[in-house]
Amino acid sequence: MTADGAPRVSGHTTYRSVIPTEQMPEDLCWNAATLWAGPKCHIVHCPLSGWKVFNLVVTHHNDAPEPGAGKPMPVEEARRGFTDVCQRAQSIISHGKDWRMWVLCDR
């Protein structure tokens, strides 16, 4: 597996944040993994650690040119691919703090 060259960059980038439950909007505190999908993008959030935090992951197609893993990113970078989704879904991103970025790759 490792002798077949470098992984292929997919063109998609994922950003992750963990939100304390008390900072998650009450109307979005659902006991389920939730997916919001739009053109070349999606948002997933779900409760973790016995409802202490919410996992928030946003992914969009941005033609990322090279791999990257765990790099800190500003919220503006995480928001960039979500201008064409509903305002409610966009607002979830603003609750995230300490965003990290991963460029998705495959073999």
Residues in Cβ contact with 64 at an 8 Å cutoff, skipping those fewer than 6 apart: 9, 10, 11, 12, 13, 103
Query: Is the distance from CB of 100 to CB of 73 less than 8 angstroms?
Result: yes
Per-residue pLDDT, 1? 59
What are the extents of the domains in the chain?
Answer: 2-106
Per-residue pLDDT, 6? 82
pTM above 0.85, yes or no: yes
Fold of domain 2-106: D-Amino Acid Oxidase; Chain A, domain 2 (3.30.9)
For residue 58, name the pLDDT band (cuts at 50, 70, 90): very high
Per-residue pLDDT, 61? 94
Mean pLDDT, rounded, of the chain? 91
